[in-house]
Amino acid sequence: MVTPNHLSVLGIIHTAISILAILVALFALFRDGKIDPANGRGKWYILLTVVTCITGFPIMRFGHLTPGHYLAIIILVLLPIGIYAGRIFGKAADYVQVIIMSTTLFFSFIPAIVESLTRLPIAHPLASGPNDPLIQKAQLILVVLFLAGVTYQVIKLNAERKLLKTAI
C-alpha cells in the first residue's frame, strides 16, 4: 500500500499561493500579452511569486535544498531586474523585461510540474521522481511553450515599435 504524499500546513499555503501566482501570470499573458510589472496584474504576480519563493525555502521534503530552492533564488534575483529593466537597459528594456518576466514564470512551472506529477494522484503519483520520463517530457513541452511564447512576445514588441516609428 502506497502512503499519501502529505503536505505540511506551510506546504499547503505555499502551493495555494504558487497556484495563484501562476494563474495571475497566465491571465496577464492572455490579457496584456506580457507580464507587465507596471500594472496591477504584474504587481500581483510579482508579490505572489516573491511570497511563493520565500515560503518555499523552509520546505525541505528531502531534508536539504533542492533544485526548486535554487530556482526560487534565481527568480528572486531576476524579478528586480525585470521590474527595473527600463532604468538599466535603455532601448532594449522592453525586450529584456518581457524575456525576464517570462523566464520567472517558466522557472516557476518547473517545480510545479515536478511536484504535481510526483504527488498526484495522491494514492499513486504519475511520476516516480524528477528524472521520470513523464516529467522529462512535460518539461520539454514547457521549454517549447516558453520559447514559442517569448518569441511571440518579442515579435509583437518589434511590430509595435515599427508601428510607432511609422506613426511619428
Query: Which positions of the chain have pLDDT values less than 50?
Result: 1-3
Residue 106: domain span: 9-167
Whether residue 82 is contained in a domain is answered as yes
Secondary structure of residue 27 in the 3-state scheme: helix
DSSP state of 4: P
User: Which residue intervals of the chain are DSSP H helices?
Assistant: 9-32, 40-56, 67-83, 85-88, 93-119, 133-167
Q: What span, in angstroms and rounded, lies between the C-alpha atoms of 25 and 32? A: 10
Whether residue 159 is contained in a domain is answered as yes
Q: Please report the pLDDT score of residue 22 as a whole number.
A: 97
Q: Please report the pLDDT score of residue 89 as a whole number.
A: 94
Tell if the pTM clears 0.85, that is, is over it. yes
Whether residue 17 is contained in a domain is answered as yes
Q: Please report the pLDDT score of residue 1 as a whole number.
A: 38
How many separate domains does the chain show? 1
Share the mean pLDDT of the chain.
92
Whether residue 1 is contained in a domain is answered as no
Q: Please report the pLDDT score of residue 141 as a whole number.
A: 97
Q: Please report the pLDDT score of residue 2 as a whole number.
A: 45
Tell me the HSE value of 38 on the side-chain side, using a 13 A CA sphere. 8
